[in-house]
Chains A and B, each alone.
Chain A
Amino acid sequence: GENVEQHPSTLSVQEGDSAVIKCTYSDSASNYFPWYKQELGKGPQLIIDIRSNVGEKKDQRIAVTLNKTAKHFSLHITETQPEDSAVYFCAASMANYGQNFVFGPGTRLSVLP
């Protein structure tokens, strides 16, 4: 089955700097890669996703890149702000077969003022 690894487990950056979180997956059939943000006391919330037919997607300060050959994808946050502090989870699935998400273990991002 699918296995998703995520690095780093914790990340601290200064406000205004960029943050990068990387994930690798094992099943080459996976074709959908969402990223979820979980703030303290809340459930995970989708922030961006990418399908395997594109290599990059951007939404304001966040972007995701996908390398299908290497089976890894990354989340990039630019101009970080204190409200970006949260736990971020990547996931992989075979979306068009209605398969379940397999989540990475999470990255705790702290943005220091």
Chain B
Amino acid sequence: ETGVTQTPRHLVMGMTNKKSLKCEQHLGHNAMYWYKQSAKKPLELMFVYNFKEQTENNSVPSRFSPECPNSSHLFLHLHTLQPEDSALYLCASSQERAVSYNEQFFGPGTRLTVL
């Protein structure tokens, strides 16, 4: 185990549903990330949080809404998704962003299917 947990592991939702993905890290880190992993494409960085503050939004559509209530928890709220949003969503954490050569620790991901 990497110390980063994600729930649920699998999620099937309709385009009109609202759901949330949860990530929790037990490593004492202060930076957390959401990535999207689609088939045959590189990992796409979506959001970055450092000390609970969002430091990066990589032009992600507003139907994805992140929330970071504290340094240990990260949520991704989903609303009116499209079938092309089906992918594996990975959460990662690392020491604060200012630390150089920062290893990122990944959770197992949530496999999302949008019908």
Residues of A within 8 A of B (CB): 4, 9, 32, 34, 36, 41-46, 49, 51, 89, 95-96, 98, 100-106
Contacts and interface: CB of A to CB of B under 8 A. Distances in A.
Contacts of A51: 101
A99 to B, nearest CB: 9
Interface in B90-114: 90, 92, 97-109
Given A51-B101, A95-B101, A98-B98, A43 B109 contact: yes
A82 to B, nearest CB: 21
Interface residues of B, number: 24
B107 A43 contact: yes
Nearest to A41: B108
Interface string B21-34: 00000000000000
6 contacts: A43-B2, A43-B90, A44-B106, A95-B101, A96-B100, A105-B42
The A interface is mostly helix, strand or loop, or mixed, namely mixed
A43 B43 contact: no
A24 to B, nearest CB: 13
A44 B98 CA distance: 22
A44 B43 CA distance: 10
Contact of A34 (B99, B103, B108): B103
A79 to B, nearest CB: 26
A100 B4 contact: no
A42 B91 CA distance: 11
A102 B101 CA distance: 14
A89 B92 CA distance: 15
The winner among B41, B102, B107 for most chain A CB atoms within 10 A is B102
A45 B108 contact: no
B8 to A, nearest CB: 14
Nearest to B43: A103
A51 B101 CA distance: 8
B57 to A, nearest CB: 12
A45 B2 contact: yes
A104 B42 contact: yes
Nearest to B9: A41
